[in-house]
Structure 1
Amino acid sequence: MYFNIPGAKDILIKNMTGEDLEDIYLSFEGIEKHPLKISNIRKDGQVAKTLILSYLHKTTELKLHYFMDNEKQEIAVYDNLNKNDLRKLIITIYKKGEQLDVKTTVDEKNI
């Protein structure tokens, strides 16, 4: 479910790792202390989230954080996050060896 909120960016996160993902979250400059938590994505499942960007004053990176072998890992999933670009992001998470890898696409239909 997506909401039409001014300054909001919809994000669809797909899990293509072949296993359930737990304790992952998204952050960007300004929400490091209160990250957008994604408690669980079942294998081959997806989760929709909305980021409020109206207070974001400069372009920044969107990062995905996860734990692997009790160590915090971080991947930049989008490097052009700004409050004027509200197109939906589709983040697909894959497994590459023992690490996670991502492919991020922009849904041009949401312009």
Structure 2
Amino acid sequence: MTAHPTAGSRVRIVIEDTVESFDSGTLRTTGGVYIESLGEPGGVTIQILEPGWQLGDIVHDGRDQLVRIDKGDGVHVWQRPNGYVTYDDETSLNSLRLVHRAEQ
């Protein structure tokens, strides 16, 4: 085996991290992994080890308790006690500590 993969190499890449965002096939993780394209459907297998944030989840970000809501257009965000809406990219997901998991 060579030190680095070359064209034609079959590889298995295991990344265990937290999803920061997933938009239009682009995946970013809190650990800094950035995958621009996941290729054709079925080309990449993603195994979800635990569920992401669900509507009604309550977390603490070190300052406030936040609740996961749908802001009315299908976009899920965090709402602070003062009503201010915080998008996922406006907070460090690594700083969020689960207070209460919503009943599903």
TM normalised by structure 1 equals 0.24
The structure with the largest alpha-carbon Rg is 2
The higher-RCO structure (CA 8 Å, 6+ apart) is 1
TM normalised by structure 2 equals 0.25
